[in-house]
A and B are shown apart, each in its own frame.
Chain A
Amino acid sequence: MSAGPHRFVSTDRRVREDRRFVAGKGRFVADIDLPHTKHVALVTCPYPAARIISIDKRRALAMPGVHYLLDGRELAAATLPLMAGLDTPNVPRRPLAVDTARYSGEWVAAVVADTRALAEDAAEEIDIRYEALPFVLDAEKAIEPGAVLVHAAHGSNVLLDRTFVWGEVENDFAASPRRLSLRVKWGRSSTVPIETFGVVANWDAWRDVLDVYASIQMPKYPDQIAMALQLPASAVRVHYDVDVGGSYGVKRGIKHSVLVSYLTRRLGFPVRLVEDRLENMRGGDAHGPERLFDVDVAFDNNGIVRSMKMRALENVGAYAGRSPFQLGKPIGAIVGPYKIKSVQYRAIAAVTNKTTQDAVRGFGQAPTNLALERAMDEVANTLGLDPLELRRRNMIRREEFPYTIPSGTTYDSGDYHTVVDKVLAHTSYDEIKTERDRLRAEGKLAGIGIAACLEPSGGNASFEPLLNPKNTTTTWMDSCRIDVDLSAAITATMHTSSAGQGHETLVATVIGEVVGRDPDSIRVVRANSLNSLPSNSPVGSRMAIMLGGAAFHAAHKLKAKLMAIGAHDLGIPLERTVYEQGNVHDRAAPEKRCTWEELVAIAHRNFHRLPEGFEPGLAVAHVYQVPTGGTLPTADGRVQMYPCFSFEFHLILLSIDPDLGAPRIVRYRLGHDCGTVINPKIVRGMTMGGIAHGIGAALYEEFAYNEDGQLIAQTFMDYLLPSSHEVPVVEIVHHETPSPHTVLGQKGSGESGYLGAPAAVANAINDAIRPLGISINALPLNVSKLGDLIADARARRGI
């Protein structure tokens, strides 16, 4: 672990990917034009639950430009169900519904036509007869005995119901003088990138290869396509050099991909599916968590929280997707930054007749942080303690790291109190309180909200074996390959797609740092899945750690080779070689030197000058396993999850117009510690984006359903994304507590801001309305509901 000072790492470098984007020269999936490509439009079920009685294709097939009409039965006969993470064989998931559709918007048939417009024309002409079935939308109702079953063969609507008890929970509760209970609701929202999911698949019958281009962010993507199509993965070539227009978790698109892959093999031309926004919102299976928490905390009169019980009920939607695992990941930081000694955690995943979810930024951490931070604030309120003081008393102290939490994960490092202090040095707490009081004097409701949260990073996804004992995966890796060519130029290869995280810049910077060459001279390219090394994709806030780690180690291998070649050629022992910026010289006689160019030439051309046993050329690679990974859970459900923990501390001042119920964030300060920062522009941008996203989840965004099971928020007119007006100026204060586990001390920051902003906003709103004796524990906030709540409270108080 090398924390600095550095020559390139942590310096204010430009992000090289930006160059192509500002000229409109990105390569997004919809930009790819393969000759003879045909287009898919979907036919969707209008009912939340229905039996598909018949599909009459005749009128549609007669429409101009139509080539094919695929239904669920045909696809199911030719492919395997999509992979499920849990052991739930009676809840199969397929791209097209077979006999029964289970949510309004579920795909029932696919039209293939010359253009997307013609495909949509034909989609309207398919006659499908349905028998509407009873349905259930609410998770609590879904788990009641006698509830309408979403999957009859599964026997219940519960995919997962697991209780973990870590530590002496009952004893700790009995021994604590105080306790409180709270119900917190996280509404259904998602990341909703501006680019929808798209995929083009082309089967080359002469080479037996399926080429796939997609807007993808997904581990094991080629493998899952191959499995569904019953092909070896060596027959599937996913091109990772497609630019992804934002994802933040959700772009898995596996059903889209299996669909078009089947079609291209069946039909013999490239097939393209780019979701329109309606398909995306309603049937793209990219919704996010919708979670109900019941939290009980046991604490003493000093505000020390000893124990916690948490029940998390997730409304998964009609099929499993990744959703149940989003209940498992938060286990790795279940107590947040606090020294809570024992925890009982019950995770329930319930299916309902809503759209399927996929992985959303943080993978369940943001909702869990909301529940935890609301509970902490209410503890403070109960005791009449300042909420900030309460955090200070409970937070793990710097000298206590590494710190193992009850669920078995060890937090690597942190200095939470210093981050808080730094934020308050920047803007004093008294100053903010004074401003709050001034707003109150002006007749506003005003509140201060804080949130102290962790960002687990590194992507050691051991929640998989934890929630599904049949899964014994302990390998999470990433790779980097470096080639130095005959011209002595360096090319690095990475093995996954990116969605704006600046990975090319990251790789070039790390390699440049290690080998001492200008990162701008280092080319970074992407492999495809047939010439790639193992990668697990940018998920779980892992790439700075994993791709950075792989690049670092590969670069060191390169450096070692150069030093060995130099030592051998200079006739000196290795210990006497000094490496500087690619050149090697003899410490005892500095004029005895091999330049970078000379070393490269020897490697490529002069085999007779290479050390014994050396391979020709200068190609190195490293496949990097996640630090602290590689262990399975214990019998009582304890396991190390992610290796590294970044920290964020939010401090918000929020004002509410009491007559309108309309909130406005007046001040936003964030303290952020993600260890060593490899590229400051990238990290700051991520955090700002995460905060905006969190504000959206707190105040604006919801996939609302009506009582007929119809998704009301199907377009951007009803699903409200924050614009520049809705995001306040944010001031970020930085701190760096390096991780002992990573090559440069870096931790992840891909989820920063999003993990704590909703909690901070919720706490600020509650601080503002508490003087009226009311509280709100459901996000997103609804202006009308808040307005009515305030009006009723004021009426009760005669205001």
Chain B
Amino acid sequence: MLAADESARIIAGGQTLVPMMAMRLARPTRLIDINHIAALSYIRADGDTISIGAITRQCLVERDKLIATSLPLLARAVPFIGHAATRARGTIGGSLANADPAAELPLIAITLDAVFTYRVDRRTEKIGARDFYIGPMTTSLPGDAILTSVQLPVWPGKIGVGFHEVNTRRSDFAFVATAAQVELTDDGRCKRIAIGIGAATDFPIRLATAEEKLKGSTLDAAIVKDAVVQALADVTPLSDLHASAKYRRRVAADLATRAVVDACSHALGRKLHAH
């Protein structure tokens, strides 16, 4: 249907598309409502990944026990998405494909190296998160493709997570967001770490050089801050109505540090730093 009509669009949760239509910024001639395709709504373990169907409602992910135990970073981030009423309709796939630079789900996808599965021309294709997000509100998903699911890897072992965002009002789009997941060795050192920064650039990024540097370290705040600041030196943050580039760079470093420290505490079984 999508291939047949160039101005047809898929509608899932509608929480982004419908406002745009109301403001006449999006003008599809037809809407293809995929909300009732039950086969696209699921959460299941698949080996060492969790697979989530594209039209799974955000509120289902929010309440899911499997996600809470196996994907704690996702569980931490979902309550930050919009409001309960928008999570009641909004879908995982919708938010991931919309690629808003400030959205939480793309940040988690990048941080955890998610893999997206999509259907195009009756074929099934896969693409990694880092290749999926290519610009603000822009993904490499072909125009007549439909995202069908996302696969998120489960980290075994002693893991912990941290998530922070800063915004004007609590439920607004963030102007800086950070996500961190760590796996600790038995003696409490960093075995594996992923640090993602969202809302500061056109699409979420990983602080790969910081991750490299922090492997094997004790992850105290000063060491983490140093590594993160260095990694951000090569990044050009956005400057807009909400925040200056200077602000984003500085606060990204700060919140990334907090996220990593929280993740470490979490992994060690200590209480999370409350914000």
Question: Do A and B interact with each other, yes or no?
Answer: yes
Tell me the smallest distance from the CB of B163 to a CB of chain A, in Å: 15
A580 an interface residue at 8 Å Cβ cutoff? no
* Chain A window 722-738, contacts with chain B (Cβ cutoff 8 Å), 1 for yes, 0 for no: 11011000000000000
B168 an interface residue at 8 Å Cβ cutoff? yes
A783 an interface residue at 8 Å Cβ cutoff? yes
| Contacts known (A659-B254, A784-B244, A788-B246); A124 close to B24, Cβ less than 8 A | yes
Q: Is A720 touching B171 in the complex (CB atoms < 8 A)?
A: no
B113 an interface residue at 8 Å Cβ cutoff? no
Bound Cα distance A667, B36 (Å) = 48
CB contact between A783 and one of B168, B246, B254 (< 8 Å): that residue: B168
Q: Is A720 touching B169 in the complex (CB atoms < 8 A)?
A: yes
Q: Is A725 touching B170 in the complex (CB atoms < 8 A)?
A: yes
* Chain A window 769-799, contacts with chain B (Cβ cutoff 8 Å), 1 for yes, 0 for no: 0000000000000011101100100000000
Contacting A at CB under 8 A, from B59-110, are none
Q: Is B241 touching A659 in the complex (CB atoms < 8 A)?
A: no
A712 an interface residue at 8 Å Cβ cutoff? yes
Tell me the smallest distance from the CB of B151 to a CB of chain A, in Å: 31
Bound Cα distance A785, B166 (Å) = 14
A294 an interface residue at 8 Å Cβ cutoff? no
B137 an interface residue at 8 Å Cβ cutoff? no
Q: Is B241 touching A718 in the complex (CB atoms < 8 A)?
A: yes
Q: In the assembled complex, which residues on chain A have CB atoms less than 8 Å from the CB atom of B166? A: 660, 662, 783
| Contacts known (A120-B24, A712-B241, A718-B241); A726 close to B247, Cβ less than 8 A | no
Bound Cα distance A215, B175 (Å) = 37
Q: Is A720 touching B241 in the complex (CB atoms < 8 A)?
A: no
B38 an interface residue at 8 Å Cβ cutoff? no
Q: Is A720 touching B250 in the complex (CB atoms < 8 A)?
A: no
Q: Is B250 touching A715 in the complex (CB atoms < 8 A)?
A: no
Tell me the smallest distance from the CB of A752 to a CB of chain B, in Å: 24
A700 an interface residue at 8 Å Cβ cutoff? yes
CB contact between B175 and one of A120, A659, A704, A784 (< 8 Å): that residue: A784
B8 an interface residue at 8 Å Cβ cutoff? no
B243 an interface residue at 8 Å Cβ cutoff? yes
Contacting A at CB under 8 A, from B167-214, are 168-172, 175
A278 an interface residue at 8 Å Cβ cutoff? yes
Q: Is A791 touching B171 in the complex (CB atoms < 8 A)?
A: no
B242 an interface residue at 8 Å Cβ cutoff? yes
Q: Is B168 touching A720 in the complex (CB atoms < 8 A)?
A: yes
* Chain A window 650-684, contacts with chain B (Cβ cutoff 8 Å), 1 for yes, 0 for no: 00000000011110000000000000000000000
CB contact between A660 and one of B23, B24, B170, B254 (< 8 Å): that residue: B254
Q: Is A784 touching B247 in the complex (CB atoms < 8 A)?
A: yes
Bound Cα distance A700, B167 (Å) = 11
Q: Is B251 touching A659 in the complex (CB atoms < 8 A)?
A: yes
Q: In the assembled complex, which residues on chain B have CB atoms less than 8 Å from the CB atom of A659? A: 250-251, 254
Tell me the smallest distance from the CB of B274 to a CB of chain A, in Å: 12
Tell me the smallest distance from the CB of A522 to a CB of chain B, in Å: 40
Q: Is the interface of B mostly helix, strand, loop or mixed?
A: loop
Tell me the smallest distance from the CB of B83 to a CB of chain A, in Å: 9
Tell me the smallest distance from the CB of B212 to a CB of chain A, in Å: 25
Tell me the smallest distance from the CB of B275 to a CB of chain A, in Å: 8
Bound Cα distance A699, B170 (Å) = 13
Q: In the assembled complex, which residues on chain A have CB atoms less than 8 Å from the CB atom of B172? A: 720
Q: Is B246 touching A726 in the complex (CB atoms < 8 A)?
A: no
Q: In the assembled complex, which residues on chain B have CB atoms less than 8 Å from the CB atom of A726? A: 169-170
Tell me the smallest distance from the CB of B204 to a CB of chain A, in Å: 19
Q: In the assembled complex, which residues on chain B have CB atoms less than 8 Å from the CB atom of A704? A: 241
Q: In the assembled complex, which residues on chain B have CB atoms less than 8 Å from the CB atom of A725? A: 169-171
Tell me the smallest distance from the CB of A277 to a CB of chain B, in Å: 9
Q: In the assembled complex, which residues on chain A have CB atoms less than 8 Å from the CB atom of B241? A: 704, 712, 718
Instruction: Output the residue of A699, A704, A784, A788 with the most chain B CB within 10 A.
Output: A784
Q: In the assembled complex, which residues on chain B have CB atoms less than 8 Å from the CB atom of A661? A: 247
CB contact between A788 and one of B171, B244, B254 (< 8 Å): that residue: B244
Bound Cα distance A660, B254 (Å) = 8
Bound Cα distance A660, B275 (Å) = 12
Q: In the assembled complex, which residues on chain A have CB atoms less than 8 Å from the CB atom of B255? A: 660
Determine the residue in chain B with the shortest Cβ distance to A780.
B168
Q: In the assembled complex, which residues on chain B have CB atoms less than 8 Å from the CB atom of A791? A: 246, 250
Q: In the assembled complex, which residues on chain A have CB atoms less than 8 Å from the CB atom of B23? A: 278, 715
Contacting B at CB under 8 A, from A676-709, are 699-700, 704
Bound Cα distance A785, B244 (Å) = 8
Bound Cα distance A700, B172 (Å) = 11
Bound Cα distance A600, B20 (Å) = 63
Q: In the assembled complex, which residues on chain A have CB atoms less than 8 Å from the CB atom of B254? A: 659-660
Q: Is B251 touching A660 in the complex (CB atoms < 8 A)?
A: yes
Tell me the smallest distance from the CB of A708 to a CB of chain B, in Å: 13
CB contact between B168 and one of A120, A124, A700, A788 (< 8 Å): that residue: A700
Contacting B at CB under 8 A, from A728-778, are none
Contacting A at CB under 8 A, from B243-273, are 243-244, 246-247, 250-251, 254-255
Bound Cα distance A718, B168 (Å) = 10
Tell me the smallest distance from the CB of A692 to a CB of chain B, in Å: 12
Q: Is A787 touching B251 in the complex (CB atoms < 8 A)?
A: yes
Q: Is B242 touching A784 in the complex (CB atoms < 8 A)?
A: yes
Bound Cα distance A785, B246 (Å) = 10
Bound Cα distance A278, B243 (Å) = 24
Determine the residue in chain A with the shortest Cβ distance to B172.
A720
Tell me the smallest distance from the CB of B86 to a CB of chain A, in Å: 12
Instruction: Output the residue of B244, B250, B251 with the most chain A CB within 10 A.
Output: B251
Determine the residue in chain B with the shortest Cβ distance to A699.
B168
Q: Is B243 touching A783 in the complex (CB atoms < 8 A)?
A: yes
Bound Cα distance A783, B169 (Å) = 10
Bound Cα distance A783, B243 (Å) = 8
Tell me the smallest distance from the CB of A305 to a CB of chain B, in Å: 35
Tell me the smallest distance from the CB of A786 to a CB of chain B, in Å: 9
Bound Cα distance A279, B208 (Å) = 46
Tell me the smallest distance from the CB of B225 to a CB of chain A, in Å: 11
Q: In the assembled complex, which residues on chain B have CB atoms less than 8 Å from the CB atom of A722? A: 169
Q: Is A723 touching B169 in the complex (CB atoms < 8 A)?
A: yes
Bound Cα distance A788, B175 (Å) = 14
Q: In the assembled complex, which residues on chain B have CB atoms less than 8 Å from the CB atom of A785? A: 244
Bound Cα distance A137, B244 (Å) = 22
Tell me the smallest distance from the CB of A394 to a CB of chain B, in Å: 35
Tell me the smallest distance from the CB of B20 to a CB of chain A, in Å: 11
Determine the residue in chain A with the shortest Cβ distance to B248.
A784
Bound Cα distance A783, B254 (Å) = 15
Cβ contacts A to B, 13 pairs, < 8 Å: A124-B24, A660-B254, A661-B247, A700-B168, A720-B168, A722-B169, A725-B170, A725-B171, A783-B243, A784-B244, A787-B243, A788-B250, A791-B246
Q: Which 4 A-B pairs have the closest CB atoms?
A: A784-B243, A784-B247, A725-B170, A659-B254
Known: A726-B169, A787-B250, A788-B244. 4 other contacts (CB 8 A): A784-B244, A787-B243, A787-B247, A791-B250
Residues of B at under 8 Å CB distance from A?
A: 23-24, 166, 168-172, 175, 241-244, 246-247, 250-251, 254-255
Residues of A at under 8 Å CB distance from B?
A: 120, 124, 278, 659-662, 699-700, 704, 712, 715, 718, 720, 722-723, 725-726, 783-785, 787-788, 791
